[in-house]
Structure 1
Amino acid sequence: MAKVAFLGLGVMGYPMARHLKAKGHEVTVYNRTAAKAQKWVAEHGGRAAPTPKEAAVGQDIVFACVGNDDDLRQVTAGPDGALSGMAPGAVFVDHTTASAEVARELYATAKTRGLAFVDAPVSGGQAGAENGVLTVMCGGDAEPYAKVEPVIGAYARACRLLGPSGAGQLTKMVNQICIAGLVQGLAEGIHFAKQAGLDVEAVISVISKGAAQSWQMENRYKTMNEGRFDFGFAVDWMRKDLGICLAEARNNGAHLPVTALVDQFYSEVQKMGGRRWDTSSLIARLEK
């Protein structure tokens, strides 16, 4: 069992930290809103720390799942950041969906202090975190990765080292690029079926057994057909992620015309009041 800290108790971090505690690890938590950390401790045990630095003291591994690049820099390299509290040989594991640039930056900072840094964004959404079946995409060095992989297994069904620092974040970008196109295609398909007077349930039951099948089709077609979007991965979060993808594409020369288009479609959903709707709400702009 490991001594670990978990920084950031949002919809993902809260259950991820719970799984770590349930597996027998010694868990210290930190959250920007301290009351949420105290609530977590009241429910699951462990202890809460007032700063990332204090949470990190004496830990083998420090995990984080926060909002964006700036939030990540604050909890790692800021005056009260975790890197200042970690002992040489400890590993920082970042589950935030952030840029590859910040991953490489913090990897270099950690290395100068005798620490290791693994970028490890996740896929699977809130349901995956709650059920402990996330997919984790990692970048960094092999030795620290081997140390943290069994611990990550507390909330993951798949975890893989994909290359040097930044490779995890780049792989998460591929994931989001693929999802954006899939959801738009599914939205258009369901919309077309309804306009054509077809039974959507019957249509999906057939085509989901063939080449059109996807996780999005299996898990989202019913709520899309019913116009329900008050759950799941929020449009605001997806736009943040797609912004990271498009920025990276400008740097590496990749052409992402569909991704750019879907990003604009999500901006329309935001203007419709759907900032916190699930990403499957792309269908709403077709039916407004």
Structure 2
Amino acid sequence: MAKVAFLGLGVMGYPMAGHLQAAGHDVTVYNRTAAKAEAWAKEHGGSHAATPREAAQGADFVMTCVGNDDDLRSVCTGKDGAFAGMEEGAILVDHTTVSAKVTRDLAAIAAGGGIGYVDAPISGGQAGAENGQLSVMCGGDQATYDKAAPVIDAYAKICRRMGDVGAGQITKMCNQIAIAGLVQGLSESLHFAQASGLDGEKVVEVISQGAAGSWQMVNRHKTMLADEYEHGFAVDWMRKDLNICLTTADEIGASLPVTALVDQFYKDVQKMGGGRWDTSSLLKRLKDV
């Protein structure tokens, strides 16, 4: 069992840290809103700290799960950042979806202090975090990954090393690119079924058993048909991720025409006031066009 610091207690981080504590690790948490860290410690029996540096002191592993590039830099660097509290030989595992650039920049800073670094973005949504069934895609050297993987297993359905530092983030971009097209296709299918006078539930029952079936179809069609979008991964966060994908595509010379189009559709959803709606709200956009 390891001494672990967990920084960031959002809808994903809160249950993930709980799984670590339940697995027998000694967990100290930090959250920008201190009341949430205090509530977590009361619920799970771990400890909470006032700063990332304080949480990271003496930790074998520091897990981060925050919002974006700037948030990650903030909790890692500076006099109160995690790096300032970590000892040589400790490992930082970042579960935030961020750019490969900030990942490589922070990994270089960590290496200068003898700290290991694994970028380990996650997929599976809030339900996956709560049930300990996340897909974790990792980047880092093999030896560092091998040390971190048994700790990550506390909340992982699958955990794989995809390559050197940054490879985890690139893999997460592949994940978001695939989801964008899938959700738009599912939205159009359900919209077409309803416009044709068909029972959308019956349509999904049939087509989900064939080549059209997907996780999105199985897990999101009921709420989509009910016009309910107050759950899951928010449109605002999806646009943040897709911006990373599109920026990286320009850098590496990849073409993402469908992703760019769906990103604009999500922009429409934001204009409708749906920035906090689930990503499946692309269907609502079609209904309101």
Instruction: Report TM bin, short chain.
Output: over 0.9
- 1:124 corresponds to which letter in structure 2? G
Deviations 1:201-250 (A, max 9, x none): 11111111110010000001111111110111000010000011011011
Matched residue, 1:220: 220
Matched residue, 1:24: 24
Matched residue, 2:237: 237
Instruction: Output the CA distance in 2 between the equivalents of 1:134 and 1:268.
Output: 30
SS in 2 for 1:162: strand
Instruction: Output the CA distance in 2 between the equivalents of 1:204 and 1:92.
Output: 43
Matched residue, 2:90: 90
Matched residue, 1:73: 73
Instruction: Output the CA distance in 2 between the equivalents of 1:31 and 1:228.
Output: 30
Deviations 1:82-107 (A, max 9, x none): 01111111000000000000111111
Matched residue, 2:152: 152
Matched residue, 1:103: 103
Mapping of residues 247-258 of structure 1, within 5 Å: 247-258=247-258
- Residues 1:261 and 2:261 aligned together: yes
- 2:84 corresponds to which letter in structure 1? S
Q: CA deviation at 1:185?
A: 0.2
Q: CA deviation at 1:77?
A: 1.3
Matched residue, 1:180: 180
- Give the structure-1-normalised TM-score: 0.99
Instruction: Output the CA distance in 2 between the equivalents of 1:78 and 1:226.
Output: 47
Instruction: Output the CA distance in 1 between the equivalents of 2:50 and 2:31.
Output: 8
Instruction: Output the CA distance in 1 between the equivalents of 2:189 and 2:94.
Output: 36
> Share of identical aligned residues, percent?
68
Instruction: Output the CA distance in 2 between the equivalents of 1:122 and 1:260.
Output: 22
- 2:185 corresponds to which letter in structure 1? G
- 1:11 corresponds to which letter in structure 2? V
Q: How many residues align?
A: 288
Instruction: Output the CA distance in 1 between the equivalents of 2:66 and 2:208.
Output: 35
Deviations 1:104-142 (A, max 9, x none): 111111111101010000000111001100000000111
Instruction: Output the CA distance in 1 between the equivalents of 2:187 and 2:274.
Output: 15
Q: CA deviation at 1:147?
A: 0.6
Q: CA deviation at 1:45?
A: 1.1
Matched residue, 2:128: 128
Instruction: Output the CA distance in 2 between the equivalents of 1:36 and 1:222.
Output: 32
Q: Which runs of 5+ in 2 are unaligned?
A: none
Q: CA deviation at 1:162?
A: 0.2
Matched residue, 2:167: 167
Instruction: Output the CA distance in 1 between the equivalents of 2:270 and 2:97.
Output: 20
Instruction: Output the CA distance in 1 between the equivalents of 2:161 and 2:31.
Output: 27
Instruction: Output the CA distance in 1 between the equivalents of 2:148 and 2:156.
Output: 12
- 1:277 corresponds to which letter in structure 2? W
Matched residue, 2:56: 56
- 2:36 corresponds to which letter in structure 1? K
SS in 1 for 2:136: strand
- Give the structure-2-normalised TM-score: 0.99
Deviations 1:34-61 (A, max 9, x none): 1111111111111111110111110100
- What is the RMSD computed on CA atoms of the aligned residues? 0.6
SS in 1 for 2:163: coil
Instruction: Output the CA distance in 1 between the equivalents of 2:108 and 2:226.
Output: 48
Q: CA deviation at 1:79?
A: 2.1
Matched residue, 1:44: 44
Q: CA deviation at 1:78?
A: 2.1
- 2:263 corresponds to which letter in structure 1? D
Instruction: Output the CA distance in 2 between the equivalents of 1:72 and 1:199.
Output: 45
Instruction: Output the CA distance in 2 between the equivalents of 1:52 and 1:264.
Output: 36
Instruction: Output the CA distance in 2 between the equivalents of 1:263 and 1:189.
Output: 19
